[in-house]
Structure 1
Amino acid sequence: MIQRFIELGEGYSDIYELIEIAKANSHRLSHMMALHTTINDKEVTSLIVVLHPTTPGDFQPLYICREGIPNPSVLPNKRYDLFAEAAAALGKEMIQFSVKPSNIFAEKELYYQQLIGILRLNHYIPPLK
């Protein structure tokens, strides 16, 4: 199985694409998530749409708008609200937790590998086959 993050951007206008991906793939939608972190004393959030793996092929995409949305517990904002409303409309509970920021990793791929490990350990995505 291949599990890969597909970065759409930081969540400005691309948040609408992230929501459309969730709606268009509602039959494959596994989770909708918000990962909170702090970058340069600024509280930010990454939003993620996790789809079930393809059959055949066993490819599991995790679409992400990385660290560009203000943390809603610090600064309520419409972009987060739209994502949360879409999750509710699709019957999904928003999964939220705090993670380390991507800027402490030497490469973005190392950050994504760490997130995949966290998601596997918490049984949000399946282990490798």
Structure 2
Amino acid sequence: MIQQFILLGEGYNDLYELLELAQSNQSRVHMLLRLDTTYQQKNKSSLVLILNPASPGKMMPLYICLEGIPSPDDVPSKRYDLFEQLSGQLDIPIHQLKVKSSQNFEDLNLYYQYLIGVLRMNRYIPPLQ
């Protein structure tokens, strides 16, 4: 199975797209995920929607709003509140991990490979087959 990150962006419109993807694909939602990091010396969070592969496909998409939301532990955020509301609507918990920042990597694809390794190691996504 192929796991692939799909970057949506950091703003409200990108988050609305992520929320709509989750609501319109409720039967495929595998996990909601919050990745916490320090980006440009500020605590930031990335929000991730992981979908199960479409039938008969073999790609598990991971939609990500990358490091654009202030950590909800530090600053209240309307964007994170919307993500929590989605979690409540779908009755799916938000899993949380602390990870390295994308700034630590030369290329965004290397960062995504690192995240996929972390998610596999924590058994949030299935191993490479």
TM-score range, shorter chain: over 0.9
Q: Deviations over 1:37-77 (max 9, x none)?
A: 01121111000000012232211000000000000000011
After superposition, residues 85-96 of structure 1 pair within 5 angstroms as 85-96=85-96
Structure 2 distance, partners of 1:75, 1:113, is: 29
Q: CA RMSD in A?
A: 0.9
Structure 1 distance, partners of 2:69, 2:125, is: 24
Secondary structure at the aligned position of 1:27 is classed as: helix
Q: 1:43: which partner in 2?
A: 43
How far off its partner does 1:90 sit?
0.3
TM-score, length basis structure 2: 0.97
Paired residue type of 1:21: L
Structure 2 distance, partners of 1:5, 1:121, is: 17
Q: 1:17: which partner in 2?
A: 17
Note if 1:77 corresponds to 2:74. no
Q: How many residues align?
A: 129
Paired residue type of 1:121: M
Structure 1: tracts of 5 or more residues without a match: none
Q: Deviations over 1:4-54 (max 9, x none)?
A: 000000143210110000101000001001101011211110000000122
Structure 1 runs of 4+ with >2 Å offset: none
Paired residue type of 1:10: E
Structure 2 distance, partners of 1:111, 1:25, is: 26
